[in-house]
Chain A
Amino acid sequence: MMPSFDARRAGLQTRRSFLRQCAFAPCFAIPLFRGGAVGQPVLTPGPWFVDVAARAGLAAFRDVCGDPAKNYLVETLGSGVALFDYNNDGLLDVLLVNGSSFEMLANPALPRSSSRLYRNNGDGTFTDVTRESGLMNEGWGVGVTVGDYDNDGYRDVFITNFGSNALFHNNGNGTFTNVTHEAGLEGGNWSTGCAWGDYDRDGRLDLYVARYVDFEKEQMPTPGTNTYCTYRGVPVACGPRGLPGLADLFYHNEGNGSFREVSMDTGVRDTIRGYGLGVVWLDYDNDGWPDIFVANDSMPNYLWHNQRNGTFEEVAMEAGCALSADGRAQSNMGVAVGDYDNDGWLDLFVTHFSEDYNTLYHNERGQFEDVTYEAGLGTVSYTQLAWGTGFFDFDNDGWKEIFVANGHIYPQADQAGNHYWQQNQLFRNLRNGRFSLVPAEESGFTQARSSRGAAFGDLRGRGQMDIVVNNIDSQPFLYEFSRAASGRWVRFRLVGTTCNRDAIGARVLVTAGGQTQMDEVRSAGSFVSSSDVRLHFGLADAPAVDKVQIRWPDGSVEEHVGLGTNREYTIRQGEKL
């Protein structure tokens, strides 16, 4: 019996052209299947990811963010996600940050919206433990970063808000205590991206907090009243252009549960009050000291270079990552860090507004170059408005792909020839410096929403990376890796002893199968989100890991050799495996 097939799906010709050919040649005498003999159908595998948010128990969550009409900028920004193990049971839990509304802020009698903590049950489902955990952020939540700031072995949570920020101390018994005031981390007005890191190598996590617009509702122009309040001629929420900005905040961990704002002392002087969004720590120049990249909306990015003496210098322009290749300030939202070409230098991918491209900055020995066009990423996301993002090796082939969460900020985009709900995107690393868009049917990202924060981690403990995406005014996506087989892998959970306990800032080099990969432990990134701190490396078909080199945040270096694959290693600083 002849196998049935869909010529169009198989990438052959259409029926019409097929029939036309048949008039001149014996069609059934030629092989019809790409890469296969007649009679041996090629099975089409399912999508790489499947959204299982409902099955997993996350569907009850809605990121409430103001009025659906989004007449004010603060209603458009959405919120982040954190994937972390809050109860040290070895399973990644999910924290979804929630927004709020002007009505809730004005009327304390109204029911509160709150961030939601979901405990991983270990069977693909989650249980909402928000109330019993006490991790209830009832402000207008935006960003999140997770880090063990007091080195007690339990990971703490910092959430930025439109309003006072919130630090939740992990009590080690499944509960959290809000210690914002004692810590001195209230901030104020509108904070966005945030990330922990140890800039002075004192073994304690410091904190960078980006801030956005000095927002007062009563001082906001209404949609359509001027050209900062239109999109493609359609009236929309105003800003951030033309609105006053806010200086970012930089806190030093004093070691006694309190923090000191040190932006002026350290040279992190955001004197022009940029519209800060995404924040990430990285050692971009391989000098062993953590630097800080800040994605600024509608203005040049910051790259705070660590001077190794407790101070920083802003060098984004000189380093080539402040602007696009043609010198334009882009609407920078989220940021991914990763060594996508395995050359030993961390690259940047920054997401942007629609009618622009997301920028891939290749790191050439500490000097970035916008290589978006030559990487094949120039046209594929031009109409999308992009937020959460990350480099991650979803197929464990040893090369990092790019995920991008999309969604317009204006519901009115639908009237302006664009779309408020947009599909998320997956870009496959072609291993030659180029990427190609994985079709939605293949990636599994077929549902459109207005996505914002995104975080990455292996939620099922199967050696494959999953993605959680926070969607504005909608339930989240939990993209679970759904294919049975991929390459081998190895994962590292680092525990600092003389450096910060989470080993945030540690760098790991993995050599396997003749290839060396590199990554760093980060507390946050993407768009206002915090991914799993464990470092995951795809190994393709390498049978073993030849060597692992760890450079701890305090500068000490260790090597381990002869490791196995398809397993996770916990490495304590200074101890043998």
Chain B
Amino acid sequence: MVALALLALCIDSHSQVTAIPSDERLASAGTDARSEQQWLAELGPDRAAVAAHPDSAQAFLTLGKALHALGETQAASQALDQALKLESNLPEALIEKGSILADEAHWPEAADLFRRAAEVSPRSAVAHLWLGDMLLRTGNFTGAAGEFATVTKIDDRNSGAWQGVGLVRLQQGDFSGAADAFRNALAIRPGYLDADEGLAHALGAAHQWPEAAEILRKVVAAQPDSAAEAVALGTALARLGKKEEADQLFARAKEFLDRELMALRAKGENNWGVELRSEGKAADAVAAFHRALDDDPDYCEAHDNLGGVLWMQKDAAAAMPEFQAAVRCDPNLASARNNLGTALLYASHDVDGAIVQFHAAVAVRPGFALAHLNLGKALAAKQEFAGAIVEFRSALAIDPALAAAHLGLGLALAEETNTVSAEARAEMAEGLHLDPTLRAIVPQQYLTKLP
């Protein structure tokens, strides 16, 4: 069975606020910095712990954190809900769940959870920092200022809190106060680009153009493709009488902005294609993806999605170049790697080529269950059962309801040992229980041993 990747969606919202980036909130709070590979390795034991201790809020919290780290937000959310059902004021669960809601722009709901966490753990800098961020986003500047101030009292080396203080003061028109706060953030964390931007903005607002320009030069060097930074620097230089350089920056910014607009529209067409595809209107979806690529020929996800629909239309010859184009334009696009691997495996029977692509997919996105499943299948096809077993297990740790992974694991265990162990039998049975249609692909010698 061919597994197609999730069709890519764009990320955007109406939100305009320049708030504290989530990595800063987490980093400044000293939150867990395990790699995705480590999270993946712990996922199996985490699931086992939940199964063994269904009344343990801590077990569900641990599982939820791992799933969240792997990008499985829906499953993570469910695990965290369960943790909070068992222990309603578990601060870590409140914060973890709040952070998921925050990332989905559910700011008021997230704020409620962070507020509860802060009440339960008044010394939790991360709870106050998150709460401050949510209040800032929802326009409660006084409340946000209070939360950021609380963080600085708990931990005066928290750069995120000073960044928050700076943002609030800037909006309130207190430019020197804002500059002081941004400078504090930079003193704690040199090279903190958001704080540099904030400082330059505060200095510009106070007409301190020379220093603002100096800082913005650094920021532009770090973000050469940012229209906003180019405009900010151009404005500062224009104020300093450097019209020629300013005009060059404005021209560059206009190019970026025009490109951004076209990319935005391409995303809109891509989204429309995804919706049409989900409604079963494949031909219309193909047209929408083509329009997206007309607007932005370098739109990697649109190539990938176009390939996906063509593949569903059983047009492998047309799909393959689209997957290849997607991988060429973004080698880190995990879904395109997975789709190209699938096409290589099933259309070209290029098992080695497919394995390369699946490996790349899971390297980029360790929480990508389908890619683990496909890699397991490809390795099994090469009789590399030990490797296949690892991949099937990874897939199941991420998504225990993946029928093909259960079946694949059962078959690989049996093939590797040449015997149908109890585990192999149980996995095969679970796979067929979850998806009875898979029975058609189970070799006869195993079918006879199954219930």
Query: Which residues of A are interface residues toward B (Cβ below 8 A)?
Result: 219, 221-222, 225-233, 239, 241-245, 272, 274, 299-300, 317-318, 320, 322-323, 325-331, 352-357, 367, 371, 373-376, 378-379, 382-383, 416-418
Q: Are A232 and B231 in contact (CB under 8 A)?
A: no
Q: How many angstroms from the CA of A329 to the CA of B12 in the assembled complex?
A: 14
Contact A330 B16 (CB under 8 A): yes
Q: Give the residue name and chain of the A residue nearest to B267 (CB).
A: A242
Contacts of A376 in B (CB 8 A): 173
Tell which of B222-230, B303-311, B393-401 binds the partner: B222-230
Residue in B172, B197, B204, B254 whose Cβ sees the most chain A Cβ within 10 Å: B254
Residues of A within 8 A of B175 (CB): 373-374
- Bound: A367/B240 CA distance, A: 13
Task: Return the chain A residue nearest B258 by Cβ.
Answer: A272
Contact residue among B10, B139, B265, B275 (Cβ-Cβ distance under 8 Å from A355): B139
Whether A243 pairs with B268 at a CB distance below 8 angstroms is yes
Contact A373 B173 (CB under 8 A): yes
Q: B34 an interface residue at 8 Å Cβ cutoff? A: no
**Most chain A beta-carbon contacts within 10 A, residue among B11, B171, B265, B267:** B265
A378 contacts B173, C-beta separation under 8 Å:
yes
Contact present for A355 and B230 (CB under 8 Å) = no
A354-B14, A367-B238 known; 15 new pairs, CB 8 Å cut-off, are A221-B268, A226-B271, A228-B10, A232-B108, A241-B264, A243-B265, A272-B262, A299-B261, A318-B247, A323-B231, A355-B17, A373-B173, A378-B171, A416-B108, A418-B138
- B170: Cβ under 8 A from any A Cβ: yes
Interface size class of B (residues with CB under 8 A): 35 or more
Q: Which of B14, B16, B238, B246 contacts A328 (CB 8 A)?
A: B16
Give the docked Cα–Cα distance between A300 and B231 (Å).
11
Question: What 7 pairs across the A-B complex have the smallest Cβ distances?
Answer: A242-B268, A327-B228, A417-B108, A327-B231, A382-B139, A226-B271, A356-B16
Query: Nearest Cβ in chain B — how far from A242, in angstroms?
Result: 2
The answer to whether A374 and B12 touch across the interface, beta carbons within 8 angstroms, is no
- List, sorted by A's number, 20 A–B pairs whose CB atoms are closer than 8 Å: A221-B271, A227-B9, A228-B267, A231-B13, A232-B106, A241-B264, A242-B10, A242-B264, A299-B261, A300-B254, A325-B235, A327-B227, A327-B229, A355-B17, A373-B170, A373-B171, A375-B173, A376-B173, A378-B172, A417-B107
CA distance A315 to B281 in the complex (A): 44
Nearest-neighbour CB distance to chain B for A266, whole angstroms, equals: 19
| B69 CB-CB contact with A under 8 Å | no
Residues in B whose Cβ lies below 8 Å from that of A300: 254, 257
The complex places the Cα of A357 from the Cα of B170 at a distance, in Å, of 12
List B contacts of A242 (CB < 8 A): 10, 12, 264-265, 267-269, 271
Bound CA–CA A457/B238 (angstroms): 39
Interface membership of chain B positions 195-238, coded 1 if the CB is closer than 8 angstroms to chain A and 0 otherwise: 00100010011000000000000000000001111111011001
Asked whether A232 lies within 8 Å of B275 as measured between CB atoms, the reply is: no
Chain B residues with CB below 8 A from A232, complex form: 105-108
Asked if B205 and A230 make an inter-chain contact with CB atoms under 8 angstroms apart, the answer reads no
CA distance in complex: A373, B275 (Å): 41
Nearest CB of B to A367, in Å? 8
Q: Which residue of B lies closest to A214 (CB)?
A: B265
Q: Are B14 and A355 in contact (CB under 8 A)?
A: yes
A232 to B268, CA, bound (A): 19
Residues 168-210 of B, flagged 1 when their CB comes within 8 A of A and 0 if not, give 0011110100000000000000000000010001001100000
Nearest CB of B to A210, in Å:
16
Minimum distance in angstroms from A375 CB to a CB of chain B: 8
Q: How far is the CA of A416 from the CA of B137 in the complex (A)?
A: 13
Kindly provide the distance from the CB of A158 to the nearest chain B CB, expressed in whole angstroms: 28
Q: Determine the chain A residues whose CB is within 8 A of the CB of B247 once the complex forms.
A: 318
Using CB atoms, name the residue of chain B closest to A356: B16
In the bound complex, how far is the Cα of B272 from the Cα of A243, in angstroms? 10
C-beta contact mask, B92-107 vs A, less than 8 Å → 1, else 0? 0000000001001111
Contacts of A226 in B (CB 8 A): 9-10, 271, 274-275
Does B141 sit at the interface, judged by CB under 8 A?
Answer: yes
With both beta carbons as reference points, the residue of chain B lying nearest to A229 in the complex is identified as B271
B253 touches A228 (CB 8 A): no
B250 located at the interface, meaning its Cβ lies under 8 Å from any Cβ of chain A in the complex? yes
Q: Roughly how many angstroms separate A488 CA and B29 CA in the complex, as a whole number?
A: 60
Instruction: Looking at the assembled complex, report how far the CB atom of A120 sits from the nearest CB atom of chain B, in whole angstroms.
Output: 39
Q: How far is the CA of A367 from the CA of B207 in the complex (A)?
A: 14
Contact between B201 and A326, CB atoms less than 8 A apart: yes
B18 interfacial contact with A, CB 8 Å:
yes
Interface pair B268/A355, CB less than 8 Å apart: no
Q: How far is the CA of A317 from the CA of B248 in the complex (A)?
A: 11
Q: Which residues of A contact B18 (CB under 8 A)?
A: 326
- Separation in Å of the A30 CB from the closest CB of chain B? 31
* Complex Cα–Cα for A222 and B272 (A): 9
In the complex, B15 has a CB within 8 A of chain A: yes
Chain B residue numbers with a CB within 8 Å of A320 are 235, 238
CB contact between A228 and one of B204, B232, B268 (< 8 Å): that residue: B268
Do A227 and B261 contact each other (CB < 8 Å), given the known contacts A353-B16, A379-B141? no
Given contacts A226-B10, A230-B13, contact A323 B258 (CB under 8 A): no
- Closest B residue to A353 using CB positions: B14
B13 to chain A: closest residue by CB: A227
- A71 CB, min distance to chain B CBs, angstroms: 14
Instruction: Find out whether the CB atom of B271 lies under 8 angstroms from the CB atom of A355.
Output: no
Distance in Å: Cβ of B152 to nearest Cβ of chain A: 20
By beta carbon, the residue of chain A nearest B106 is A233
Interchain CA distance A356-B227 in the complex, whole Å? 19
Chain A residues within 8 Å of B172, by CB: 373, 378-379
Give the residue among A226, A375, A416 with the most B Cβ atoms within 10 A. Answer: A226
Please indicate the chain A residues that have their CB under 8 angstroms from the CB of B139 in the complex. 354-355, 379, 382-383
Pairwise interchain contact B106-A357, C-beta atoms closer than 8 A: no
B272 touches A219 (CB 8 A): yes
